[in-house]
Amino acid sequence: MHHFTYKNKMLYCENVPVQDVADQVGTPFYLYSTATLKRHFQAFETGFDGMDHLTCFAVKACSNIAILNIFGQMGGGADIVSGGELFRAMKAGIDPRKIIYSGVGKTRAEMREALYAGILMFNVESPQELDRLQEVAAELGTRAQVAFRINPDVDPKTHAYISTGLAENKFGVPVDEALQEYLRARDMENIEIVGVSCHIGSQLTQIAPFVEALRKVKGFIANLEQEGIGVKYLDLGGGVGIIYNDEEPPHPHDYAAAIRDELTGMECTLILEPGRVITGNAGILVTEVQYTKVNTGGEKDKRFVIIDAAMNDLTRPSLYGAYHEIIPVRESDETRHQVDIVGPICETGDFMARDRMMPETRQGDLLAIMSSGAYGFSMSSNYNSRPRAAEVLVSDECFQIIRYREEYETLLHGELLSVLD
Ligand SMILES: *Cc1c(COP(=O)(O)O)cnc(C)c1O
């Protein structure tokens, strides 16, 4: 459920006409619905009612501080994967005691920053990372709270690029080697073992892989206990999928129920790191049609709709061949044609949709690229020296810019002409 609907043939975000935002902000822009963001966060949360748990929003899915702040105010924490995300989460007012740091490549500087902030837990992904964390914590005269990220070797049955829990993926420590690492960590002066973590992938549409991974992690926790190592936190990562097209992902409540069943009798605080399922369908990318054209001469005529948003703004179609529904901002029942919807970037891979049936589309029309609230703006770049899009947040009848459209000056920020011969 989201709050992007037609009223009198015009697309609204809650009670704001999308056209009004475009008139004031220009295109392209990301548009988020506060009611949808809150609703999705709440729906996820209530599934775990009565269980000791902490929901740490995965910052990489949608990292604008205005949005992080909403989740923070609702009691949420943050799952971060870089020093930059730590900085954002702190600026957004997230309690550092609710921040989890994941990722395979943490630098010394990033470790220092996170230790200094006093985050809840580092999810350590390799033996060398553990050694480095011990060193850095010793230098600061503090102790790092850690979990190891276990790689359970479970197939999440999702796109290969966002599968993370298979033995062949770069993530985590194999179950078989993890015990040895916990024993090593136990003897380290500046390391405190507090948890076990696991995250097997993104856009999962089935519950079974989650359960399979959880069972393996549970078995592992039992092994730890035999060695006298107890853990306070069980971090199950994120990964619950959403509907882009015809997927049938589990409802967050069914996901929660499956976990609840598996966890009966366990004493840990559960940590969850949802990203996509919270923000994915709470944001759209609004773009204006620049040109339409028909290329003849091939096997069949090919229609193109050229828009002012591109793969630098929303990279998912190019990167994963991902499907995003695209609808006109002014509802139309005109004749439908098969078109490619493409951006202005000089790459054939710069498309938002291929061979898509769309009602007759004309220069100047606004289109909404749906389900763009996760891995949309946060993956955007300046490729082709395109200033990044504005981000706008709606609440009921009001809207506010939460990130200005970049200007040309921003593109050159930090860039210098050379003084060398
Ligand atoms: C990306 C990521 C998440 C969030 O994944 P979603 O599929 O967006 O829920 C959670 N935890 C970790 C460690 C991640 O890398």
- CA-closest residue to ligand 1 atom 10: 238
- CA-closest residue to ligand 1 atom 11: 237
Token couple for 171: 């993530």
**Res 112: pLDDT:** 98
Split at pLDDT 50, 70, 90, the class of 248 is very high
Nearest ligand 1 atom, CA 123 = 13
Measured from CB, residues less than 6 Å from any atom of ligand 1 are 58, 60-61, 79, 81, 102, 199, 202, 237-240, 273-277, 374
Three-point CA angle 209, 246, 79, nearest 5°? 50
Query: Is pLDDT above 80 for 1?
Result: no
Architecture of domain 4-31+281-411 in CATH?
Beta Barrel (2.40)
Nearest ligand 1 atom, CA 149 = 13
The counts of H helices and E strands in the chain are 12, 21
The stretch 42-49 carries a mean pLDDT of 95
Alpha-carbon distances, residue 94 vs 16, 69, 72, 77, 318 (angstroms): 29, 7, 5, 6, 33
**How do residues 116-175 score in pLDDT, each as one tens digit?**
999 999 999 999 999 999 999 999 999 999 999 999 999 888 888 888 888 888 888 999
**Res 163: pLDDT:** 82
Query: Is pLDDT above 90 for 40?
Result: yes
For ligand 1, the distance from its centroid to the CA atom of residue 14, given in whole angstroms, is 27
Start-to-end Cα distance in the chain: 61
Which residues are tagged catalytic? Answer: 346
**Res 157: pLDDT:** 86
For ligand 1, the distance from its centroid to the CA atom of residue 412, given in whole angstroms, is 32
Mutate to test the pocket of ligand 1, among 273, 276, 316, 378 (most ligand atoms within 8 A of CB): 273
Asked whether the beta carbons of 246 and 284 are under 8 A apart, the reply is no
For ligand 1, the distance from its centroid to the CA atom of residue 410, given in whole angstroms, is 29
Residue limits of CATH 2.40.37.10 in the chain: 4-31+281-411
Q: What percent of the chain has pLDDT over 70?
A: 100
What does the DSSP 8-state code read for residue 25? Answer: H
**Res 337: pLDDT:** 95
CA distance 381 to 325: 22
**Res 169: pLDDT:** 84
For ligand 1, the distance from its centroid to the CA atom of residue 236, given in whole angstroms, is 10
Q: What percent of the chain has pLDDT over 90?
A: 91
What does the DSSP 8-state code read for residue 299? Answer: S
Residue limits of CATH 3.20.20.10 in the chain: 34-278
Architecture of domain 34-278 in CATH?
Alpha-Beta Barrel (3.20)
**Res 166: pLDDT:** 83
Mutate to test the pocket of ligand 1, among 102, 163, 279, 372 (most ligand atoms within 8 A of CB): 102
Query: Is pLDDT above 80 for 300?
Result: yes
- The pTM of this model reads 0.96
